[in-house]
Amino acid sequence: MVQEVISTEEDKRLIQNAYRQLLRSIKSNMDDTDRKNIRMAYELAVEAHSTQRRKSGEPYILHPIAVARICAEEIGLGPTAIVAALLHDVVEDTDVTLHELQDKFGARITKMVDGLTKLDGAYNSDSPQAENFKKVLSTLVEDVRIVLIKMADRLHNMRTLGAMPPHKQLKIAAETSYIYAPLAHRLGLYAFRTEFLDLCMKITDSEDYFSIAKKLQETKKAREEYISSFIDPLKEQLEEIGIKYRIFGRAKSIYSIWNKLKNKQVPFEEIYDLFAVRIILDVEPKKEKLYCWQVYSVVTDVHKPITERLKDWITTPKANGYESLHTTVVGPGGRFVEVQIRTERMDEIAERGFAAHWKYKGVNNSDDVFERWLDSVREILEDPEGSPVEFVDSFKSNSLFNEEVYVYTPRGDMRVLPKGATALDFAFSIHSDVGYHCTAIKIDNQIVPMGRLLKNGDRIEVVTSNNQKPSEGWLKLVTTGKAKAKIRSAMKEERRRKGELGREALERKFKNLRIQSNDDAMETLVKHFGLTSHVDLYYAIAMNTISVVDIFRTFKAEQGKLKLIEEPLPKEEPKRDAPIKRPRKDTTQAPRLTINGEPGEQYDYHLATCCNPVQGDKIFAYLTANAGLKIHRINCPNATNLMVNYGYRIMKADWSNDSPQTNFVTKLKITGIDDGPGVIERLTSQLSLMGLNIRSMNIAGKEGFFESELSLVVANTDQLNQATRALKNLSNISTVTRIE
């Protein structure tokens, strides 16, 4: 592809403007060397990217400049990271080499750019996302800034995703919600997480996204009026305290509103907590706590508090470093309003997490939450067992991303464990030896099952005995990565120990047969039995699941080597990853599709039953291991998992325009007020009035409410939407939702 050099005056002006804005956005102190390095990085990047344009048509260099600016302005990173951000794509996409960077910028920056290049490489390849996730975390423990720059890179790409073809947008959105949103949360980059999730939703559920955005816009004025009626009476009294403060109402994100709509099954109009009020105090570090509670007392004097909704993350910050005082009060008109009270320092940590954390290191004495977290990430990374997919599962369920419980040792020392951790997890968290030898656990002086979930405030005592050993079953009793890793490695050790007998038995036999290389012979057997390691073989022999007698019925020694007595037929490996073109059997009834832009009739495809796509839904095709192609909706609950782990099996699919009238089965969930048999009558007659067939229907009433699930036969999404609207308009019906 021939690309012209960027030379128009317009382009030059754009680039220089962007650079000037970048320089203005840098808040940290810089010396002459820093300024020189940034200038040098900028000039090198401009030159290196000079022939490239982004999909949107703008000069490519605007991207690294924008990423550097996000690093400076939104994360608050310093000059080193800004230089690395400016250079983050040069090694990947241009002729510039790491050696060149080493000469000009030194080892530290080169290492960062190298890290970023490797992460990029991971994304462009088709390797499963679980492996990529692991790579991101390894980079994280090496130098957090690399991952922070990568976040900025991903954020800018997400903000400018519009120019990409839709299937690429989907893949990037899936990766973002799988890796970056949870990581942003865990690193305390709340603003990033919120924006990631909003941008993902805009792609995967665009209709809902724009409809909520529109409603927020329409209700903005009324909301602002309400917020002032809430804030005004507070202001007077806050002035009396005599400190600098800011107070404002803040709308919640579209994604979080959407979640509420889905979870509570109520219409937009009935969601009251669309916003929270935040009070930010500018006070000296020593008096933070004092003033926060003083402001709390003012707020609750003016508006009545709901006491059980008080959350004090100032005394005990969240594991990701978040500090704030939250309370819910009854505002004008009886509406519940959440009020968040914090200082400027806490606010910066809340918005920028990890990055801001370094700046304030040592300000509050809470021990270093991030260091502790990085340690646990390291521990999991060092666990040699398990596949990357297991790794991600353990990482996510291990709740390194989630909330935590606070429990106590018998001496009253507090320990923080992830929510979902069990009594046995606690034993392992004290020390791996305590875990290994744990025979019983007492909580508040009562013996409890080892798998008992921990609750806040539990006082836990572990009883140990030197005769105790971990067993396979323990893996089911723990949830933390640390305990799992320790149990697995103990099990492995146990297998190895028991396997010694098996190894000795084999070696004796080899010696008798004058086998020359034990290693080669073992390898032959490992392969023959489809095992993964020698240890597995020794163990199987020791446990007699493979008998030595049988082995030497199948194998013989020949010139000092182990040979199979009967040569098996060569097995042909079925090719799995190339789509098998096998025409559909009946082409008359099925909906017509195009797959990767070609007529779909040449493939054997079926509609997925997990999400039941209907003509008109946005869809993609997934190549299964043996059942041809499955067609899923892009917002199928399984879609993210499929896209991130098996991206190479995803194909683009669209409905053909010339599809004949086809029937699709779709499921609706309907809730409402149960006014007797009239309900079923109303629902069914409305549907038959519309000429729609009901495949099945069940209905359950409870305390005046009913819930019904019905399978409906429709021709396309238009018909489905019409039906949904019509049902919603019937009397006493509260919600009608499509279910998966």
Under 8 Å CB-to-CB from 21, ≥6 apart: which residues? 69
Q: How far apart are the first and last CA of the chain?
A: 45
Q: Between residues 139 and 324, which has the closer beta carbon with respect to Mn ion? A: 139
Q: What is the smallest separation between the CB atom of 175 and Mn ion, expressed in angstroms?
A: 14
Residue 535: CB atoms within 10 A of its CB come to 18
Counting every residue written for the chain, the total comes to: 740
Cβ distance to Mn ion smaller for residue 89 or 195: 89
Q: Of 173 and 279, which CB lies nearer to Mn ion in the complex structure?
A: 173
- With a CB cutoff of 8 Å and minimum separation 6, the contacts of 82 are 22, 26, 38, 41, 68, 71, 72
Q: Find residue 361's DSSP bridge partners.
A: none
Which residue is nearest to Mn ion, using beta carbons?
A: 153
Between 176 and 717, CB nearer to Mn ion: 176
CB of 156 to Mn ion, least distance (A): 7
Which of the following is catalytic: 58, 73, 92, 143? 92
344 belongs to the catalytic site: no
Active site annotation includes 507: no
Q: List the structure tokens of 685.
A: 């007659």
User: In the block, which residue shows the tokens 């003033």?
Assistant: 291
Which 8-state DSSP code applies to residue 592?
P
Query: For residue 705, what are the β-bridge partners?
Result: 673, 702
Q: How far is the CB of 92 from Mn ion (least distance, A)?
A: 8
Q: Which ranges of 607-650 would DSSP assign to H, the alpha helix?
A: 639-645
- By the 8 A CB rule, do 664 and 590 touch? no
Nearer Cβ to Mn ion, position 89 or 347? 89
Tokens (6 digits) for 267? 């219409």
Residues ≥6 apart with Cβ < 8 Å to 719: 690, 692
Q: How far apart are CA 384 and CA 489, in angstroms?
A: 8
> Between 115 and 481, whose beta carbon lies closer to Mn ion?
115
Residue 88 burial (CB count, 10 A): 28
The encoded tokens of residue 45 equal 């990047």
Q: Is the dihedral of CA 328, 331, 337, 339 positive or negative?
A: negative
Least distance in Å: CB of 63 to Mn ion? 6
Given a contact cutoff of 8 angstroms between Cβ atoms, the answer to whether 326 and 278 are in contact is no
Question: Taking the complex as a whole, how short is the minimal distance between the CB of residue 143 and Mn ion, in angstroms?
Answer: 18
Give 112 or 292: the residue with its C-beta nearer to Mn ion. Answer: 112
- Look at residues 60, 64, 3, 2 and name the one whose alpha carbon lies nearest to residue 38: 64
Q: Compute the least distance from the CB of residue 157 to Mn ion, in Å.
A: 7
User: Minimum distance from CB of 153 to Mn ion (Å)?
Assistant: 4
Query: Are the CB atoms for 248 and 300 separated by under 8 Å?
Result: no
Q: How many CB atoms lie within 10 A of CB 402?
A: 16
β-bridge mates for residue 736, sequence order: 670
CA distance 634 to 620: 6
- Check if the beta carbon of residue 480 is closer than 8 Å to that of residue 425: yes
Bridge partner residues of 653 (DSSP): 595
The least CB distance from residue 136 to Mn ion, in Å, is: 15
Q: How large is the C-alpha radius of gyration of the chain?
A: 31
- State which residue, 90 or 710, has the beta carbon closest to Mn ion: 90
Token readout for 230 is 């809430």
Active-site option among 34, 73, 93, 273: 93
Q: How far is CA 193 from the centre of its chain?
A: 10
DSSP 325-387: EEEEEE-GGG-EEEEEEEEHHHHHHHHHTHHHHHHTTTSS-S--HHHHHHHHHHHHHH---S-
The nearest distance, CB 18 to Mn ion, in angstroms, is: 15
Q: Which CB atom, from 116 or from 477, has the smaller least distance to Mn ion? A: 116
Using the minimum distance from each CB to Mn ion, give the nearer residue, 68 or 639. 68
Nearer CB in complex with Mn ion: 86/483: 86
Binding site for Mn ion (CB under 5 A): 89, 153
Q: Are strands 336-343 and 275-282 parallel, antiparallel or unpaired?
A: parallel
CA distances from 407 to 280, 315, 410 (A): 31, 15, 10
* Shortest separation between residue 2's beta carbon and Mn ion, angstroms: 23
Nearest to 352 by CA among 136, 154, 191, 159: 191
Active site amino acids: 92-93
